[in-house]
Amino acid sequence: MHANRFDPLLKHAETKEEAAARLYAERLKALTESERRLGELARYADEYANPNCGPSNAALLLNHQRFRERIETALDQQRKVVERTRSNCNLQHARLMLASRDSKAMEQLAASHRVRLARDEARREQNQLDDLAGRQHQEKKTRSEP
């Protein structure tokens, strides 16, 4: 067996884990951005809902009301975006955890394979030394016999 037998599999697992980590970072950034936008919209809606800045005539009041409805609609849409983004982020985090687990398992498998190879090699060397010692002992015995 070759010591590098698991290297391609280990490399693949590490590449997969790195890709999952990059995607998770992207999803996390998107979540942060969508939450930031939601916060801005909520602050804007709160400011616009303040009765001190309300309009003074009926036409302005109607426009003000329509604009507040549009802000509420935008808030609802942004909440949905945040939830969708959070769901995607959670899904990618789970994928990252699976890829990380697979990578660690492959590392452990490769390490145990290397230990097994080293143990087998040591056993072979010891057998060779034992055979050599046995032959030398047999030769001495053969020479000392009359």
Mean pLDDT of the chain, nearest integer: 90
3-state secondary structure of 50: coil
Categorize the per-residue pLDDT at 138 as very low, low, confident or very high, splitting at 50, 70 and 90: confident
Tens of pLDDT along 31-60?
Answer: 999 999 999 999 988 888 765 655 568 888
pTM beyond 0.75? no
Letter for the amino acid at 96?
L
Report the C-alpha gap between 21 and 76 in whole angstroms. Answer: 30
The predicted structure's pLDDT at residue 51: 59
Tens of pLDDT along 80-111?
Answer: 999 999 999 999 999 999 999 999 999 999 99
